[in-house]
Amino acid sequence: MFVENQFTSQEIVTSPLTRKRPRPALGLTGTATLTHAVTQTSARLSLSTQRTSALVVCWRCPPCYTLEVAFTDIIIRFERGIMRYEYDVGVIGLGPAGMAVSVMASNMGLRVLAIERRALGGECMNVGCIPSKSLLQMAHVRHTFSRTSEFALSSVAKLPDPIDPFQTLGRHIRFINERKTTKMFEKVDLKLREGSASFVNAHTISIGNKTHTAKRFFICTGTQPSVPPIPGLDSVDYLTNETVFQLDSIPESLLIIGGGAIGCEMAQAFSRLGAKVTILHVDPHLLPHADWDAGKTLEDVFAKEGIAVYNGRGIRSAAYEGNAVVLQTDHNETFRGEQLLVAAGRLHDHSGLNLEDAGVEYSRAGIRVDSHLRTTNRSIYAPGDCNGAFLLSHAAMHQGMLALMNAIAPWPIRFDYAKYVVPWTVFTDPAVAHVGWLERELKESDIPYEVHEEKYEDYGAAIAEGMAIGSVRAYVSKAGRIYGVRIIGQGAGEMINEWGLAIQNRMRLSKIMFLQHSFPSMSFLNKRVSERWMMKRMESPFLKSIVRWLY
């Protein structure tokens, strides 16, 4: 069992351009010491599967690695041609990653066994993205009543009370599960099995007392909430994302440990639905892994909405006093709340999968995969949160798709998951979104960059619609190469995708500038940022003289 303490660090690892490519996982099952003619480095005897191929390679040397990949690929394909398996594809876990693999694979005509121990849709559908956004939307609607006077409407004497918000959430999720997700599985030809799977060997898994074989397995088992080792916490009935959406009602007061995406989203949702919320966390500001000004903006907004934020606080102890949960901090403060939500990281617990018997290596950061999402056993892939690269639903779905395509495609037609940008959004109000390099990453890497920013408060549409908080900020080269973009404000989650497309396709800012954006949309600010960059270029006396001459 391993603990990933910083959920946010894992959750928003955002800069694929800076990501170090993982060392190729070579499926090594035996070692020998040889001497490479050129590099004189130590080498290994690589056995791609335990049964057949044996090839001597220098595993540090790219040509040897490439040779080994090609060779073992041929051997594995040959082997599988003569082996008989019940299924072509075995998928363990049916969250976004597992659903992508299993639905795509069965649509492609492969025989699929899909196993889920809890609920279709995984964390995202049942205890993550969907219920959290639904609760945020209820909170947003209620909060709007407190702003009626800003929109030339008479103010309401009393805000509407939440009526059964969690039952309503439950109904939404049941509806989506029954009418949409299950229906999607009914349309495809696959075998769905309920239960907890664990490996017997690389091609066999057991579920209860039954075993099944498959040519390739895809581990899509995600993560679990991590609970920090706080003295006394065991004796407290704390909430995590797995239980918070099953409350009976909005508590009068809520303490939250953790100031990352989940902590911030839940803080605003519960506060706007009537709870007195306090966030306690160890980092110097909220959203510690975003650009610092994002956390600062949220802190200001939260302060206005009555959410108390205590940065840089370690929790010394937790206990009950009567019905209240009491937390003591390392600043000798005491906080009381009716409920406590722990949103302090994600846990990589793969112990139940018996990965050792399948030859799959893992660590506290997740299951080890190569750039093609293959584990240390070449027949087994591990897309999604379980590999720890990005703890995001869309990344999990994307990796599921890539892993399946990599399993089908012959070498060298394979997809490197790290080459795709991963935009992310924290769905608070204002939302915070980012794609590409963070500003501090550019600084740390000594990359010269310019900042071009357009504020919502300077945009007529944002002012008129009462959304004047935030800005679009692009980090770019002089020549307009886009390194990264962060957006704080209304519509950030939608607007960031345009930048993701631009960065992934190596477009320059001029492409955004020449694209007409519908007006008055918030994404018009994207275009304005690119115009700012162009205007900055036009400050050059040389360019000005050329313009005058041409004119």
Ligand X SMILES: Cc1cc2nc3c(=O)[nH]c(=O)nc-3n(C[C@H](O)[C@H](O)[C@H](O)COP(=O)(O)OP(=O)(O)OC[C@H]3O[C@@H](n4cnc5c(N)ncnc54)[C@H](O)[C@@H]3O)c2cc1C
Task: Find the binder of ligand X among 27, 162, 222, 436 (CB under 6 A).
Answer: 222
Task: Find the binder of ligand X among 129, 269, 287, 358 (CB under 6 A).
Answer: 129
Joined tokens for residue 271: 């506060």
Q: How far apart are the first and last CA of the chain?
A: 70
Which one, of 438, 387, 397, 444, lies nearest residue 10 by Cα? 387
Question: Which 317-336 positions form the footprint of ligand X (CB under 6 A)?
Answer: none
Amino acid identity of 168? T
Measured from the CB atom, the residue of 197 and 309 that comes closer to ligand X is 197
Question: Which 455-474 positions form the footprint of ligand X (CB under 6 A)?
Answer: none
Task: Find the binder of ligand X among 221, 271, 278, 428 (CB under 6 A).
Answer: 221
Is 482 among the residues that bind ligand X (CB under 6 A)? Answer: no
Is residue 193 within 8 Å of 206, Cβ to Cβ?
A: no
Is 299 among the residues that bind ligand X (CB under 6 A)? Answer: no
* CA angle, residues 476, 484, 97, in degrees to nearest 5: 155
Measured from the CB atom, the residue of 94 and 301 that comes closer to ligand X is 94
Pairing of strands 424-426, 380-381: unpaired
CB of 207 to ligand X, least distance (A): 8
**Distance, CA of 266 to CA of 398 (rounded, Å):** 26
Is 128 among the residues that bind ligand X (CB under 6 A)? Answer: yes
Task: Find the binder of ligand X among 80, 111, 117, 140 (CB under 6 A).
Answer: 117
**Distance, CA of 344 to CA of 259 (rounded, Å):** 8
Is residue 368 within 8 Å of 375, Cβ to Cβ?
A: yes
Is 122 among the residues that bind ligand X (CB under 6 A)? Answer: yes
Task: Find the binder of ligand X among 43, 103, 262, 389 (CB under 6 A).
Answer: 262
CB of 427 to ligand X, least distance (A): 6
CB of 313 to ligand X, least distance (A): 22
Binding span for ligand X by CB under 6 A among 83-91, 95-103, 355-363, 498-506: 95-103
**Distance, CA of 513 to CA of 528 (rounded, Å):** 7
Site string for ligand X, 75-94 (x = CB under 6 A): -----------------xxx
What residue has token string 């584990």?
375
Binding span for ligand X by CB under 6 A among 15-23, 118-126, 322-330, 476-484: 118-126
Buried b (16+ CB within 10 A) or exposed e, 501-510: ebbbeebbbe
Is 124 among the residues that bind ligand X (CB under 6 A)? Answer: yes
**Distance, CA of 384 to CA of 172 (rounded, Å):** 25
Binding span for ligand X by CB under 6 A among 72-80, 96-104, 249-257, 482-490: 96-104
Is 388 among the residues that bind ligand X (CB under 6 A)? Answer: no
Is 256 among the residues that bind ligand X (CB under 6 A)? Answer: no
What residue has token string 């056993």?
377
**Distance, CA of 222 to CA of 164 (rounded, Å):** 30
Task: Find the binder of ligand X among 391, 421, 422, 522 (CB under 6 A).
Answer: 391
**Distance, CA of 155 to CA of 149 (rounded, Å):** 5
DSSP state of 466: T
Site residue total, ligand X (CB under 6 A):
35
Question: Which 226-245 positions form the footprint of ligand X (CB under 6 A)?
Answer: 241
Site string for ligand X, 417-456 (x = CB under 6 A): ----------x-----------------------------
DSSP state of 138: H
The residues pairing with 280 across neighbouring beta strands, listed in sequence order, are 257, 310
Is residue 279 within 8 Å of 301, Cβ to Cβ?
A: no
Task: Find the binder of ligand X among 16, 95, 259, 274 (CB under 6 A).
Answer: 95
What residue has token string 């937790």?
318
Contact residues for ligand X, defined by CB under 6 A = 92-98, 115-118, 122-124, 128-129, 132, 196-197, 220-222, 241, 262, 352-353, 384-386, 391-394, 396, 427
